[in-house]
Amino acid sequence: MDLSETTEHHGDGSRTPRPGNLTPSPPRSRAGSGNGKRTLDEKGRLWKEDEGEVARLMRTVDFAARKHTCQRRKDLDQTPYINHPIAVSNFLSSTGITDVRVLQAAILHDTVEDTPTTIEEIAEHFGPDVARIVQECTDNPNLSGQGAKAEQVRSAPHKSKEAQQVKLADKLHNLESIRRAPPVGWGVRRVQAYFIWAKQVTDICGPSHPALAKRLQRLYETAYTEIDGKYIPCHPEVCGPLLEEEKSRIDKRLHHLKKGEKPCPMPIFF
């Protein structure tokens, strides 16, 4: 590749990498193996009950990364989508969840909903327990966006404890991401509607993991974000006054924007 297309040259002879339009590589095979080979146990399964927990967890991360290869988040910087499920799993592990099945389900929770992956495939690779939790965390594809949100509220009390834990961590990462910098194109009403709906879900799931429920409640009571140069409470019904500490949590690129201006994304290369 011609370096002049991807670098900015300076008078002192130095060069700064410049973001480029990269063509993502196609997803790997659905078997999850780069060379197409499948390792089966004596019962013909891809997963093994006696596999070490660390190996199982890393295999799950690898599988999810392959599935989400070409996807990016809707945030300002279009961060790789895989950052989200890894963060969800990390929220759980860092707050005392040691059940590897739950951590695996957190990493895989969007694969069926957002990629060409089936529950049967999850079960084949990672076993029925992980597949069950992932299925509980997967929205019905036949419902509209608002319909799926209403269904999450309706079905939340009937989810397993493990699925409720994943839901809490999923919402926490999404909410903290919105607080830092709302997705491109989101206005005040959409931000606040998302927080109000998320609280309905997490209030139901809260008893499944009090440590995350406490973090979420603190978030609802303190979270502000910045839109069109104005600080707005993310959850208008329960949010308290804006604190100076809260301002530091908001992406600094939003601080001096005037209405209609758009902040610059971070460069892809560093």
Tokens of 199: 């609280």
In the 3-class helix/strand/coil scheme, how is 180-225 assigned residue by residue?
HCCCCCCCHHHHHHHHHHHHHHHHHHHHHCHHHHHHHHHHHHHCEE
On whether the CB atoms of residues 172 and 180 are closer than 8 A, the answer is: no
Q: Which of 114, 139, 176, 203 is catalytic?
A: 114
Dihedral angle of Cα 178, 183, 185, 189, to the nearest 10 degrees:
-20
Burial category of 241 from C-beta neighbours within 10 Å (exposed 0-12, middle 13-18, buried 19 and up): exposed
- Within 8 A by CB and 6+ apart from 14, the residues are none
On whether the CB atoms of residues 162 and 133 are closer than 8 A, the answer is: yes
Per-residue DSSP letter, 5: G
Tell me phi and psi for residue 40, to 5 degrees.
-105, 150
* 170 belongs to the catalytic site: no
Q: Residue 19 and residue 262: Cα distance in Å, rounded? A: 17
Q: For residue 121, count other CB atoms closer than 10 A to its CB.
A: 19
Strands 15-17 and 224-227: unpaired
* 113 belongs to the catalytic site: yes
Q: Residue 96 and residue 222: Cα distance in Å, rounded? A: 24
Q: Residue 238 and residue 233: Cα distance in Å, rounded? A: 9
Q: Residue 188 and residue 113: Cα distance in Å, rounded? A: 27
Q: Which of 62, 77, 113, 139 is catalytic?
A: 113
Number of residues in the chain? 270
Catalytic machinery residues? 113-114
